[in-house]
């Protein structure tokens, strides 16, 4: 296909947390065009069932394929854990989630073999982190904790707040007590709480930002397939869309991406 390499990368999340993954892709692959979709009309996914999450992800994949993306990043811990394997065969472009890159990084980093995982209720319930970590090394001790209030706290902008610190202490104490030396932040909202999480866990615990790891894997996939962007004289184009309240995406995106988002388009995702 002509100019196929110049096609955008599609990045989506249940809401706005995936913008932290987009940020890492922009840093790692600064020339690439990106289209972001946030399913803000149906956020959060973390408290929903597997079937519902798969159904929602299928609709988003139809939308992104219509936009002729060359690769798709599932920038949502819950959707990666629940839906990725179920939908992988349905798309014709490379698709990757945030779970496997995060898992591989954590397994490489840990020294004492004790890894913590935090995520939404659904992500933790899926058991995917444990099973992938144990595939790499059956000796690893994995301790997982669901943190259902972190997403609403982030979406409310309480990134540094005594309420958030209190909630973080509640969720993270058992991980500290378990002596984990590596903690996978298994939800793309969590990098916005990184300072608080670091404060509670202590600076000796290594935090794995799944967005950073995913951007590295994406970069490798694009080069291996020879589809990194070829036309480098034009600046990258970033497009934003969401299923509800695009102005909220613009506002949130300014913080998450440290750039002005002049426009976001509203998409009727149910029609896909």
Active site residues: 76, 187
For the chain, the first-to-last Cα distance in angstroms comes to 25
Among 30, 49, 232, 259, binds a copy of itself (CB under 8 A): 49
Q: How many residues bind a copy of itself (CB under 8 A)?
A: 24
Name the helix (H) or strand (E) containing 24: helix 19-28
Q: Which of 80, 120, 87 has the alpha carbon at shortest distance from 102?
A: 80
For the chain, strand residue ranges (E) read 9-13, 34-38, 71-74, 95-97, 114-119, 141-146, 182-185, 206-209, 238-242, 265-266
Q: What angle do CA 187, 52, 134 make, to 5 degrees?
A: 45
| Residue 11 engages a copy of itself in binding (rule: CB under 8 A) | no
| Residue 47 engages a copy of itself in binding (rule: CB under 8 A) | yes
| Residue 167 engages a copy of itself in binding (rule: CB under 8 A) | yes
Tokens of 22: 């987009």
Q: For a copy of itself, give the closer residue by CB, 107 or 167.
A: 167
Among 42, 189, 206, 229, binds a copy of itself (CB under 8 A): 42
Is residue 222 within 8 Å of residue 29, measured between CB atoms? yes
Is residue 17 within 8 Å of residue 257, measured between CB atoms? no
Instruction: Return the range that interacts with a copy of itself (CB under 8 A); candidates 20-28, 127-135, 240-248, 255-263.
Output: 240-248
Instruction: Return the range that interacts with a copy of itself (CB under 8 A); candidates 40-48, 174-182, 199-207, 254-262.
Output: 40-48
Q: Which of residues 80-139 bind a copy of itself (CB under 8 A)?
A: none
| Residue 52 engages a copy of itself in binding (rule: CB under 8 A) | yes
Is residue 110 within 8 Å of residue 182, measured between CB atoms? yes
Q: Which of 129, 193, 105 has the alpha carbon at shortest distance from 156?
A: 193
Q: For a copy of itself, give the closer residue by CB, 170 or 220.
A: 170
Least Cβ distance, residue 121 to a copy of itself (angstroms): 9
> DSSP state, 225?
T
Instruction: Return the range that interacts with a copy of itself (CB under 8 A); candidates 21-29, 41-49, 199-207, 250-258.
Output: 41-49
Q: Which of residues 191-220 bind a copy of itself (CB under 8 A)?
A: none
How far, in Å, CA of 266 to CA of 35, rounded?
Answer: 13
Among 14, 20, 33, 40, binds a copy of itself (CB under 8 A): 40
Q: For a copy of itself, give the closer residue by CB, 59 or 182.
A: 59
Among 149, 178, 221, 257, binds a copy of itself (CB under 8 A): 149
Among 41, 86, 109, 257, binds a copy of itself (CB under 8 A): 41
Tokens of 112: 């004492």
How far, in Å, CA of 166 to CA of 63, rounded?
Answer: 39
Residue ranges in contact with a copy of itself by CB under 8 A: 40-43, 47-49, 52, 148-149, 152-153, 155-156, 162-163, 166-167, 170, 243-245, 248, 270
């Amino acid at each position: 296909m002509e100019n196929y390499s110049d096609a955008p990368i599609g990045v989506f999340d249940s809401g706005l947390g995936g913008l932290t993954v987009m940020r890492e892709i922009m840093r790692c692959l600064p020339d690439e065009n990106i289209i972001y979709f946030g399913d803000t009309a149906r956020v959060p996914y973390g408290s929903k069932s597997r079937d519902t999450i798969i159904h929602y992800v299928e609709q988003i994949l139809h939308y992104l394929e219509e936009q002729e993306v060359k690769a798709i990043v599932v920038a949502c811990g819950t959707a990666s854990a629940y839906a990725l394997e179920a939908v992988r065969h349905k798309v014709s472009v490379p698709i990757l989630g945030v779970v496997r890159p995060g898992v591989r990084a954590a397994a490489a980093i840990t020294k004492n073999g004790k890894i913590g995982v935090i995520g939404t209720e659904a992500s933790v319930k899926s058991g995917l982190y444990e099973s992938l970590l144990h595939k790499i090394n059956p000796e690893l001790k994995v301790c997982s904790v669901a943190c259902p209030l972190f997403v609403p706290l982030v979406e409310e902008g309480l990134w540094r707040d005594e309420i958030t610190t209190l909630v973080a202490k509640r969720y993270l104490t058992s991980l500290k007590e378990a002596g984990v030396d590596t903690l996978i932040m298994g939800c793309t909202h969590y990098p916005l709480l990184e300072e608080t999480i670091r404060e509670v866990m202590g600076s000796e615990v290594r935090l794995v930002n799944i967005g950073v790891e995913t951007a590295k894997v994406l970069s490798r996939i694009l080069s291996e397939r020879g589809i990194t962007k070829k036309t480098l004289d034009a600046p990258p184009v970033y497009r934003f869309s969401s299923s509800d309240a695009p102005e909220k995406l613009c506002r949130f995106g300014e913080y998450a991406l440290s750039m002005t988002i002049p426009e976001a388009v509203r998409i009727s995702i149910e029609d896909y």
